[in-house]
Amino acid sequence: FGRQCKFQDIPAETLQESHKNTLFREEHVERNPSTTAIHCAPELSEHEVNTEVFELASQGVLHLEGGWPKDVDSSEVEHVIRYRRKVEKDEDYIRSIKILGDSVEHYIKQNCAIDIYEDYFLGCTADHSSEPPSAKTLTVFRDPNAIKRTATSISWYPDGAKKVAVSYAILNFQQMPEGLSLSSYIWDVNNPNYPELELTPASPVCVLEYNPKDPHVLIGGCYNGLIGYWDDRKGPSAHDSSPIEKS
């Protein structure tokens, strides 16, 4: 132990030899074919341990009095009066009160001399804008149909304004041309080339609004007097509409 190891080549040597025993042959059955399953993953175990329980409590403090010395009981009126008289006789206390009194008196006189609500410059308006207000076109949503219609109403998506629902119709009485599309559309503001969803009512939609509490539901008033609502998760057709007798 502790010395350098030296290796050398030696001829093979039989350490132990087991000869076959024909007496045990009858106790075994040959299995052909033989199937054996082995695991190629390490075996793991899981244990649960209950740790020590700690009880937590929240406690508040109501601070009504200032910082009193240890020998003064703030609940005793005599102790408080005696301590206040002692502090009021201190020269540092008198000097501090005098300095504060002068500052307060100075600001009181300023408020009395200047009317802070008076308009000193009548007829003068200041222009606080750095540049004149302006607006520019960012996106144009065009009606994809051949017969162009009027956008009768728009409704912004209530969660982030990333979509806009637009209803299209011709409101002139009995002046709808043949082949007029009845569809309205939901547009994605980032993709103005194609509508995200096409709403297919039975009559042109005149007013279309999002549900502010459920951004997937829209309600619309149609040209024929019906009121329908759509769920964009269930396809382009109206999920339900009001009866024609009460419209």
Q: What is the pLDDT of residue 128?
A: 66
Read off the amino acid at residue 147. I
Token readout for 71 is 């020998």
Sign of CA dihedral 201, 207, 212, 215: positive
Q: Tokens at residue 105, please?
A: 């008196």
Number of neighbours of residue 205 by Cβ within 10 angstroms: 29
pLDDT single digits (tens) 26-81: 788 888 888 887 777 777 888 888 888 888 888 887 766 667 788 888 788 888 88
Q: Quick one: pLDDT band at residue 16, thresholds 50, 70, 90?
A: confident
pLDDT, position 2 = 66
User: φ, ψ for residue 106 (rounded to 5)?
Assistant: -65, -45
In which band, very low, low, confident or very high, does the pLDDT at 118 lie, cut at 50, 70 and 90? Answer: confident
Per-residue pLDDT of 141-193, as tens digits, reads 888 888 888 899 999 998 888 899 999 988 887 778 888 888 999 999 888 88
Q: Does the structure show a pLDDT above 60 at 125?
A: yes
Quick one: pLDDT at residue 247?
A: 65
3-class secondary structure per residue, the chain = CCCCCCCCCCCCCCCCCCCCCHHHHHHCCCCCCCCCCCCCCCCCCCCCCCCCCCCCCCCCCCCCCCCCCCCCCCCCHHHHHHHHHHHHCCHHHHHHHHHHHHHHHHHHHHHHHCCCCCCCCCCCCCCCCCCCCCCCCCCCCCCCCCCCCEEEEEEECCCCCCEEEEEEECCCCCCCCCCCCCCEEEEECCECCCCCEEEECCCCEEEEEECCCCCCEEEEEECCCCEEEEECCCCCECCEECCHHHC
| Sign of the CA dihedral running 65, 66, 70, 74 | negative
- CA atoms of 238 and 228, how far apart (whole Å): 6
Judge whether 72 and 80 are in contact, CB under 8 Å: yes
**Residue 26 has which token pair?**
């009858």
CA atoms within 13 A on the CB side of 27: 4
Mean pLDDT of the chain: 84
pLDDT for position 209: 93
Q: Which residue matches tokens 């993953």?
A: 41
Where do we find the tokens 């994809």?
144
